[in-house]
Amino acid sequence: MPEMPEVQGLVDFLGERATGLTVTKVSVANIAALKTYDPPIDAITGAQVTGAFRHGKFIDLETDAGAHLIFHLAKAGWLRWYEQLPATVIRPGRTPIALRVGFDDGSGFDLTEAGSKKSLAYYAARSPADVPGIARLGPDPLDQSFTRETLAGLLAGRRTQIKGVLRDQSIVAGIGNAYSDEILHAAKMSPYALAAGLTDAEIDRLYAATRQTLTDAVAAASGKPPADLKDAKRRGMAVHGRRGEICPVCGDEVRSVFFADNSLEYCPTCQTGGKILADRRLSRLLK
């Protein structure tokens, strides 16, 4: 799943490549992924792209027609860019393509989604704030105004596990399963630590780890074409998706905790004082 750094990479690429171009074609291939009807998505046909922006994990293509094309790639979605957009006919229901957008210089992109569970979403909106998922977003951790005190305020009083707090888009925007694993590893903190129970020193570490992990990942993603972003993400991971491999910090073995539909990774020596966390999928079955 693309998270903030990959989404920022896509936004930088689109801003560079598509700003100033005129939209000549909008082909809706998966109508269920189109979440709005007013303004109609055709409102952007003939409009000029004026910029690309990121809101959490949402991508916002702004046009001069007073309409934005906004999309969220969800778990298995991606953007495929073409210097020369194929002229092939898209057959709805038989393609991973959810939306095709073409520009006046012959370039364009597809939004694609792998797998049978479809959750990619796109919107035509007069303002980004009209998209409910954007209106609900918490502060962006790379925003200049996101200070250590901002983070402390978000954690205060929450008797929930820090892993879930970091992933909750309404608390802090843009972080998902992968980067929350990486941030907690860098902060040397158990994913099960309670947000409200963190000491001042732990909040310091968590704040520094959040900023550093995301800043490094955005720098690694920036300037890369969409096709290279997934590999760049994988390469940058110290523990996420690396079960059984060696922790690059301490040499211990990276472990997983499995849940019904995903897993988290952590290093026992770095994060839990050597304790192996119980497998949640198994313990649920045994209950």
By CB under 5 A, name the binding residues for Zn ion.
247, 249-250, 252, 267, 269-270
Residue number, 132 or 273, with CB nearest to Zn ion? 273
Phi, psi angles (nearest 5°) of residue 112: -120, 160
Nearer to Zn ion, 203 or 247 (CB): 247
Closest listed residue to residue 138, CA positions, set 180, 168, 163, 179: 168
Residue type, 270: C
Nearer to Zn ion, 97 or 247 (CB): 247
Least separation in angstroms between residue 21's CB and Zn ion is 47
Distance of closest approach, residue 276 Cβ to Zn ion, in angstroms: 13
Shortest reach from residue 252's CB to Zn ion, in Å: 5
Q: Please identify, using beta-carbon distances, which residue of 104 and 253 lies nearer to Zn ion.
A: 253
Residue 274 CB, nearest distance to Zn ion (Å)?
10
C-alpha to C-alpha distance for 87 and 135, rounded to whole angstroms: 37
How far CA 175 is from CA of 2, 56, 69, 210, in Å, comes to: 10, 8, 22, 9
Question: Would you state the structure tokens that stand for residue 216, as one six-digit string?
Answer: 């490094």
The structure tokens listed for 26 are 């909008």
In the beta sheet, which residues pair with residue 109? 81, 101
Query: Concatenated DSSP letters for 18-35?
Result: HTTPBEEEEEES-GGGB-
**Pick 28 or 249: Cβ nearer Zn ion:** 249
- Residue 258 burial by CB count (10 A; 0-12/13-18/19+): exposed, middle or buried? middle
Tokens read off for 102:
């073409």
Nearest distance, CB of residue 273 and Zn ion, angstroms: 11
Rg (CA), the chain: 20
State the minimum distance, in angstroms, from the CB of residue 14 to Zn ion: 37
Closer to Zn ion by CB, 196 or 246: give it: 246
